[in-house]
Structure 1
């Protein structure tokens, strides 16, 4: 058996101690790196989860009533900003009797709006014959019962003050039953009405 001197034993002991210390440090570093990697992975998962939650936000929907010369009249639900062509498709499409020339299929729909598709040869709805279907010769006509201030100002001859008066009138007196009722609003006389009547509707 090899005998070691006291000095050699001390040196051997120091060597063994340093080896153990080095091995322990390496093990600790590896464990630390594992923890860091796991932490980063969790953060990535949280970020991806947040993105998925944002994508899952509900889209705002509107409902419109479509009737007249379509295959299936009724209430249809659409995404906000949808156009008339989408509502017509859901309603099964136009009948052969529909007057396509009077319908603006690119019209953007509003929540709660009623769309009546006219029949060929049908007269426009008017005060003298209130039971007649509502027809839009100009499908961009403004509904004076639901229009916002900015929409009212898009009418020829209507500025900010008159738009505010129209809104104030309907809030106090209720809905306009006929387009001629707009003459009850201060500032709308016969001349102004003649200018507006082809641009407005009440349904």
Structure 2
């Protein structure tokens, strides 16, 4: 009888030891996982705001990046992201990209198509209408083709601002959006809002 009690006690001790070892192993595994997660935080090189398009997300904008980029396509970015983020989401500039023709600092708009031209490419054709004198297309002035005299005809744009627009274009490349006018010294939000239906990029 005593032998049976001793064997039973030994079995209980053996089972208890196994349970303790299993729990210790689990604790060590969890600890290693936590340590690895903490060690890798902040080292991953990712662009959390830009990814290939998935489902709709609040605060997201969708931009079609085309032309001289590594991976053209439709990308989801965050509101307030800039052209540099869109180009980065598309893998960066291709080798033949005309980087000077792209304003990397401009914020992107939902639903826009961002075309990165190749070096030496002709400006894109107007979507409709014929180009008239001074860069006007169907009554709308093309910011990339208009001379100072044509720009001077716009409301609240006098000779001085017209010359600044031309100078900005010569120094920074093509306008890719009407909002690029905000980069021209002396032009603010109110002026741009008044020009949205009168000009195009």
TM bracket, shorter-chain basis: 0.3 to 0.5
TM-score (ref. length: structure 2):
0.40
TM-score (ref. length: structure 1):
0.40
Query: Which protein is richer in helix relative to its size?
Result: 1
Q: Over alpha carbons, which structure has the higher Rg?
A: 1
